[in-house]
Amino acid sequence: MSDDSSSRTLASQLRDELHRYSPGEKLPSSRALVERFGVSPVTVSRALAVLVADGLVVTRPGAGAYRAHPGAGETRTVDTSWQQVALTAQDGHVALDASGVSANLAVPPPDVIAFNGGYLHPTLQPERALAAALAAAARRPGAWERPPLAGLPALRSWFARELGVTAAEVLVTGGGQAAVATALRALARPGSAVLVESPTYPGALAAARAAGLRPVPVPADAGGIRLDLLRDALTATGAKVVYCQPLFQNPAGAVLAPDRRGELLELVHAAGAFLLEDDWARHLGHGGPLPAPLVADDPFGAVVHIGSLTKATSPNFRIAALAARGPVLERLRAVQVVDSFFVPRPLQEATLDLVGAPAWPRHLRALSTGLRDRRDALAAALRRDLPALASATLPAGGHCLWTRLPAGTDETALTTAALRAGVAVSPGRVYFAAEAPAPHLRLGFADTAGADEITEGVRRLAVACAEVGVTVR
C-alpha cells in the first residue's frame, strides 16, 4: 500500500475516533500512533495534516496535536455575487475555460481504466533513473543557488544539440504548457487571431484564450496542416502566430508531409508571422527515423520551437525548452522572468544527470516498444469489439488514437456512460477551436498497464456504446 493511501486510511480512522476527545484535548503522540497502527512516521504526519486541513485538529510545534474547538474549521459565509459583475465588466473580458485540459489531467478512480490520460503509466516512467538523478542533483555543490535566468549553460547546450540550434538560442522553461503560454503572450497582442490546426491540443486553445487571443482553426489532414487553407486564413485574419504540431500531432497523430515543410515556412515568413512549433512528442516515436525539427531548417528565424521532456518521463518532471532566433528570444525571456523568474536549479541539474546517464537511451528504447505495443493492442481490440471506431491507419508515434464516431453520436452521453462502465475517455469536442465537424473520441494508451488492461477497457467502452445506442459494427 502506498504512503498516500495509508495516510488517507489512517486519517479516516482518526476522524472516527475524535469524538473520544474533548475540544482542546491532546491526541496520542505520533510515536504512539506509529506503534498502534503499525505505520511509518511519515504516514502519521500526512494523516494529521489531512485532519488539520479539514479543521478538525490543530498542531502546536513541540507540543503535539489537539482536537480543534467547534467552529475552528468552519468557513464564514461570504456573499461573492458582486464578483460576477467585476469579472466581466471590463473591456476585452475573456471567459476562461480550462475544462478540456482539466478533463485530461483528472486522475480517474482506481477501478477506472484511463483512456483519457496524456502521461505515461508508472510502468513506462523511468522512476529509478529519475530518483537517482534528483538525489544526485540535490547533493551537488551549488545546486541550491540561483541559476542563470535563461537556464544552466550545460542544459541549454544539450537542448541545442537535440534541436540543431545554438545554446544561445535556447531558453529553459518549466514544462511544455508553460512554454506554450509564454510564447503566445510574447508573440501576439490581446484581441488578435492565432491560427491553429483543427483539431488541436486543448491546452493551446486554453492558453490562447487566457492571453486574450482568438484561436482560428485551419483544418488538417493526414499530411498535417492544409497549406491552401492556411494561406487563406493568414490573408483573412492578419494573424501573426501559427500554432502547429508537425510531429505526431495531438490528437490526430499526423506528421507534417515532407513536401509541406519548406512551403509552410515560406508562407508564414511571407505573412510576417511566427510559427510556434510544439514538438511535444519527439521522444514518443514508435520506431523508425524522425524528421528534424522545423527550427533546424528555418532560414528566416520565423520558428519558435517548444521541446519538452515531461511526456517521456513523468508528469511531475516539468522541464522544457523554447528555441528562437533574433529579438523574439528576448521577448520570450522577459515574459518568463515576469511570470516565474526561472526554472528551479535542482530540477535543471537533475535533468542533466538524467539525459547524460546510460539509462536514458535505454529508457527511450523501452518506451518506444512499450508505446508501440499498447498502440497495437488498442487497435486490435477496437477492430474486434468496436470496428466502427477502428482507424484505418495507425500513428507512428504519440500516445493516443483519434477515432471518429458515427454521425449523430452524443459525445457527452457516451463519455458519461463510459465512466459508469469503468473507462475514462476524452470527448473530441474540446480539440476544436470552433464547431466540430463530427463527433470524435481520443483514446489514450500511454497511461495503461498493458495489453490486458487495454482489452478490458475497450470491452467496457463497447458496453457504454451499447447503452447509448452507438453503432459499433
Residues 183 and 331 in one domain: yes
Task: Give the model confidence (pLDDT) of 134-155 as tens digits.
Answer: 999 999 999 999 999 999 999 9
Q: Note the Cα 399 to chain centre separation in Å.
A: 12
Residues 201 and 231 in one domain: yes
Residues 298 and 443 in one domain: no
| Domain finish residue from 356, 378, 395 | 356
Specify the range with the lowest mean pLDDT, choosing from 47-51, 228-232, 252-256, 281-285. Answer: 47-51
CA–CA separation, 16 and 291 (whole Å): 59
Here the CATH number for the domain that contains residue 261 is 3.40.640.10
In a domain, 93, yes or no: no
In a domain, 435, yes or no: yes
pLDDT computed for residue 85 by the predictor: 81
The mean of the pLDDT values for the chain is 92
Judged against a pLDDT cut of 70, whether residue 33 lies above it is answered with: yes
User: Which residues lie closer than 8 Å to 125 by C-beta, 6 or more apart?
Assistant: 313, 314
Q: DSSP states of 219-276 as a string? A: EEETTEE-HHHHHHHHHHH--SEEEE--SS-TTT-----HHHHHHHHHHHHHTT-EEE
CB 295 within 8 A of CB 163: yes
> Cis bond leading into 251, ω under 30°?
yes
Of the candidates 230, 245, 238, which has an alpha carbon nearest to the alpha carbon of residue 281? 245
Judged against a pLDDT cut of 60, whether residue 196 lies above it is answered with: yes
CB 431 within 8 A of CB 252: no
Judged against a pLDDT cut of 70, whether residue 216 lies above it is answered with: yes
What range defines the domain where residue 330 resides? 127-356
Task: List the beta bridge partners of residue 274.
Answer: 241
Domain count, the chain: 3
Task: Give the model confidence (pLDDT) of 345-372 as tens digits.
Answer: 999 999 999 999 999 999 999 999 999 9
CA–CA separation, 167 and 159 (whole Å): 8
pLDDT computed for residue 421 by the predictor: 96
Beta strands at 214-221 and 193-198: parallel, antiparallel or unpaired: parallel
Judged against a pLDDT cut of 70, whether residue 4 lies above it is answered with: no
In a domain, 171, yes or no: yes
Burial 320-329 (b: 16+ CB within 10 A, else e): bbbbbbeebb
In a domain, 306, yes or no: yes
Task: Give the model confidence (pLDDT) of 406-463 as tens digits.
Answer: 999 999 999 999 999 999 999 999 999 999 999 999 999 999 999 999 999 999 999 9
Angle (CA) 160-164-168 rounded to 5° is: 40
Residues 200 and 347 in one domain: yes
CA–CA separation, 241 and 245 (whole Å): 13
* Average of per-residue pLDDT across 33-44: 89
Residues 157 and 302 in one domain: yes
pLDDT computed for residue 1 by the predictor: 43
pLDDT computed for residue 116 by the predictor: 94
In a domain, 84, yes or no: no
In 3-state terms, the chain is what percent helix, strand and coil (to 5)? 45, 15, 40
What percent of the chain lies above the pLDDT cut of 90? 74
Task: Give the model confidence (pLDDT) of 397-417 as tens digits.
Answer: 999 999 999 999 999 999 999
Task: Give the model confidence (pLDDT) of 45-104 as tens digits.
Answer: 889 988 888 888 888 877 888 998 876 555 566 787 888 788 877 766 666 777 777 777
CA–CA separation, 73 and 86 (whole Å): 29
CA–CA separation, 242 and 197 (whole Å): 8
| Domain finish residue from 47, 67, 87 | 67
Q: Give the 3-state secondary structure of residue 363.
A: helix
Length, in residues, of the chain = 473
